[in-house]
Structure 1
Amino acid sequence: MLYPIAIEIGDENHAYGVVVPDISGCFSAGDSMEDVIKNAKEAISGHLELLAEMNQLPPEAKPLDYWIKDEEYSGWAWAVIDIDVEPYLGKSTKFNVTLPDLLSKKIDDQVKASPNLYKNRSHFLQVAALHELQNGI
């Protein structure tokens, strides 16, 4: 999942500040942009681990465009951190799913067309289920 991070630019006397707006309470800092990226990834991973321990799903990341328009972060720099959320979802369970042929074909076509997003049909269904659950169906 791609989590946008808002970066408050630092200077000689102040570190760069980082906010992960999609994850409540997730903050970080760093003395350089390289530190910001590394520390933000660690902060996100730590928060997702705590959420998993509390049986909560990782929050869905809103698109970067959503946050850039937020006046609270006016003048901040932005980056996106790629986090594999699968380790925070627990052990995988295998089960059979029955789908109509057309739906199965459409899923396979989407997987084939988006190899950077989906590993296989099971991964597609996992991403779809996570999306629905994060949006409070």
Structure 2
Amino acid sequence: MKYPIAIEPGSSKTAWGVVVPDLPGCFSAADGGIDEAIEKAKEAIELWIEIALDNAKDVPKPSLITDLQKKKEFKGFIWAIVEINPALLSDDIERVNISLPKRVLARLDAKAKSAGENRSGYIAHMAIST
């Protein structure tokens, strides 16, 4: 997915501000210029999407930059596109093969059992909750 971002230029005294109009409350800032601002925006978008999905909320589809540019609140902003890996939006199950020392696997299985989960569920739970 490609999300448009609105970048408010910074100066030697102020950071570059970034707003993601399609994701309410999603914003970021950077002191290091426009390239850093775009990179920070990508991190903010990925985190916003992850939190929304974890809370069973819908992720809005991106708007067209041309539509967003017409809004008065973005007058003087620079526009860019941030591409997000579509895998972030997928809940499809994928089988993976991992290699772990037997002692680590035994600990993992014991912790999964005590949590009332299977190995895969426990790993997924730990990844999401941290």
Q: TM-score, normalised by structure 2?
A: 0.67
Measured in 1, the distance between the counterparts of 2:86 and 2:70 equals 26
Structure with larger Rg = 2
Gapped runs of 5+ residues in structure 1? 94-137
Within 5 A, what are the aligned runs for 1:1-137? 1-31=1-31, 32-92=33-93
Aligned pair count reads 93
Aligned-residue identity in percent: 38
In 2, are the aligned partners of 1:58 and 1:85 still within 8 Å (CA)? Answer: no
Preserved CA contact (<8 Å) 1:16 1:36 = yes
Quote the RMSD (CA, aligned, Å): 1.4
Opposite residue 90 of structure 1, the aligned amino acid is D
2:125 is aligned to: none
- Check conservation: 1:4, 1:64, Cα contact below 8 A: yes
- Cα deviations across residues 66-114 of structure 1 (Å, max 9, x unaligned)? 1111111011111110112332231259xxxxxxxxxxxxxxxxxxxxx
In 2, Cα distance between the equivalents of 1:55 and 1:34? 32
CA distance in 2: counterparts of 1:2 and 1:87, whole angstroms: 13
Task: Give the Å deviation of 1:34.
Answer: 1.2
Cα deviation digits, residues 24-78 of structure 1 (max 9, x gap): 0001011211110110000000000001101123210001101111111011111
- Relative to the length of structure 1, the TM-score reads 0.64
